[in-house]
Structure 1
Amino acid sequence: MTYDPLQALIAAGAVPANSFPPNSRYAGTPVKVHEGVAYLGRRLLPQPDRLGTLGEHAVVEGDRLDSLSARYLGDPELWWRIADGNPAAHPDELTATIGARLRITTQEGMPGVPDA
């Protein structure tokens, strides 16, 4: 294996492991290297039942995950947190059915609101 000074700096904590902002679903996901090519490690989805509930939302016409996350979480780029808390094969499925109930969840490890 060849010595890579950049990877040595990352391993030592002198250089961030990735450059994703804190509100990105990839923040904290490690950057790995294989045969000299850097790539993003796998992000494992949390189990929805391990996420605390902040509340629920009944889907209405025109709802989008980014607008819902802006409303409930204060940041449209946190749409992925709503997707993580509501299982679907594709995030657009979550707002496709009018009246569907979506859990608005915390990130893993944070408590929710009792009886939300």
Structure 2
Amino acid sequence: MIDRTSRYAGTRGFRATGEGEGFAGLRCRELGPATPVLEHTLGAWDRPDQLARYYYGDPHRWWRLLDANPEWLFAGDLLEASVVGQVLLIPAREE
């Protein structure tokens, strides 16, 4: 069961059909374009959880930053030295 406050609340379930054992899971969440509120220039020591704590007061909302910046698929991508100086869009806490 998914908690009602989860970002996956309201996401449709998925069960594969066909031969063999089925896989129960969730379908992809539908994401619209996020409205950027701020721009943050990434520094060498920025981490997604720390940025989420700074901007939202909650380090567990790091995924919100990645939802708004689809060019980075994984949170670890933001730790690479090659992203220093690039701009990260900071969306509102809720859309």
TM-score by length of 1: 0.60
CA distance 1:21–1:71, change in 2 (3 Å): farther
CA distance 1:81–1:102, change in 2 (3 Å): same
Question: Structure 1: which 4+ aligned runs deviate by more than 3 Å?
Answer: 30-35
2:27 paired residue number: 42
Cα offsets for 1:27-85 (capped at 9, x unmatched): 332445568x78331123524xx211121111111111111011111211111110011
Distance 1:92 1:68 in 2: 13
1:49-88 mapped onto 2 (5 Å cutoff): 50-87=33-70, 88=72
Q: Residues 56 and 93 of structure 2 are in contact (CA less than 8 Å); yes or no, is this contact kept in structure 1?
A: no
Q: Secondary structure at the match of 2:89?
A: strand
1:101 paired residue number: 87
Q: Which runs of 5+ in 2 are unaligned?
A: none
1:28 paired residue number: 10
Aligned-pair identity in percent equals: 32
Q: Which runs of 5+ in 1 are unaligned?
A: 1-17, 111-116
TM-score by length of 2: 0.70
Cα offsets for 1:7-30 (capped at 9, x unmatched): xxxxxxxxxxx33361x4323324
Query: In structure 1, what residue type is equivalent to 2:7?
Result: R
